Homo-oligomer: A and B are copies of this chain.
Amino acid sequence: MKELLSIINLTESFKSFPSIGEKSAERMAYYLLDMDQEKVNFLIKSIEEARTKVHQCSNCGALIDTSTCPFCESERKHDTCIVVAYPKDILTFEKLDTFKGVYHVLNGEISSIKGKSIKDLRVDELKERIKKEHIKELIIATNPTIEGETTALFLAKVLENEDIKVTRLAHGVPMGGNIEYSDNLTILKALENRTDLK
């Protein structure tokens, strides 16, 4: 189909993104042909800026586009720190607009399949920060998967001797979810962690 090369190239480009299949990529390509030039310019500018400006903060590991990290600045409460596996997880907490503490990105989770052990994670950096920034509580927010759970347990073990509170995000039935369709493990966790109503 050399006849539609420009459109095929564009479709291929979009298809390389996660969760974009052939049909979605095609729809995106044809949509882009009809888009306002202003919007196309914004898209290209956004791509170029993100690629040139965004880098990882050497302290907390967040992806930032400024020279000083807005998550590490003194205005934020350094006594509470959410520990996440990946930089993108920070976005989930920032959207709440209620958490004013700091973050620490591990840059991965312990995984035998991917050959990642606790040594490959940013744990030494975390220990240093606990002392330097006088962190009082670590909220471990790795994913509720085998890898995430393993990482949380290892981390708690490694931090055993530190004078610090280590907590984990609660597991249970998601809000708006349906008990009937929840899996066994979720229901078990929800029972285990049941809360007093009176």
* Contact flags A13-49 to B (C-beta < 8 A → 1, else 0): 1101111100010111111110101011011111111
Q: Assess whether A95 is interfacial by the CB under 8 Å rule.
A: yes
Q: Report A107 CB to chain B, min CB distance, Å.
A: 12
Instruction: Give the distance in Å from the alpha carbon of A42 to the alpha carbon of B5 in the complex.
Output: 13
Partner of A32, one of B51, B53, B64: B51
User: A113 an interface residue at 8 Å Cβ cutoff?
Assistant: no
**What is the size, in residues, of chain A's interface with B at 8 Å between Cβ atoms?**
55
Q: Is the CB of B42 within 8 A of A9?
A: yes
Residues of B within 8 A of A28 (CB): 17-18, 20
B95–A10 touching, CB < 8 Å: no
Q: How far is the CA of A18 from the CA of B2 in the complex (A)?
A: 26
Known: A17-B31, A26-B88. A49 touches B6 (CB 8 A): yes
Copies in the complex: 2
A46 to B12, CA, bound (A): 9
What's the dominant secondary structure at chain A's contact region? helix
- Taking the complex as formed, is A65 at the interface, i.e. its CB lies under 8 A from any CB of chain B? yes
Across-interface contacts of A190 in B (CB, < 8 A): none
List B contacts of A88 (CB < 8 A): 26, 30
Q: How far is the CB of A35 from chain B (nearest CB, A)?
A: 8
Q: A6 contacts B53, CB within 8 Å? A: yes
| Other 17 A-B pairs with CB < 8 A, given A9-B45, A10-B46, A18-B28 | A1-B91, A1-B95, A4-B64, A6-B46, A9-B46, A12-B46, A13-B39, A13-B43, A13-B47, A16-B39, A17-B28, A17-B31, A19-B24, A26-B88, A26-B91, A30-B87, A37-B51
Give 19 pairs: A residue, B residue, CB < 8 Å, sorted on A: A3-B71, A4-B63, A4-B90, A4-B94, A6-B46, A6-B53, A6-B54, A7-B54, A9-B46, A10-B46, A13-B46, A16-B39, A17-B31, A18-B31, A19-B24, A20-B28, A32-B50, A33-B54, A40-B51
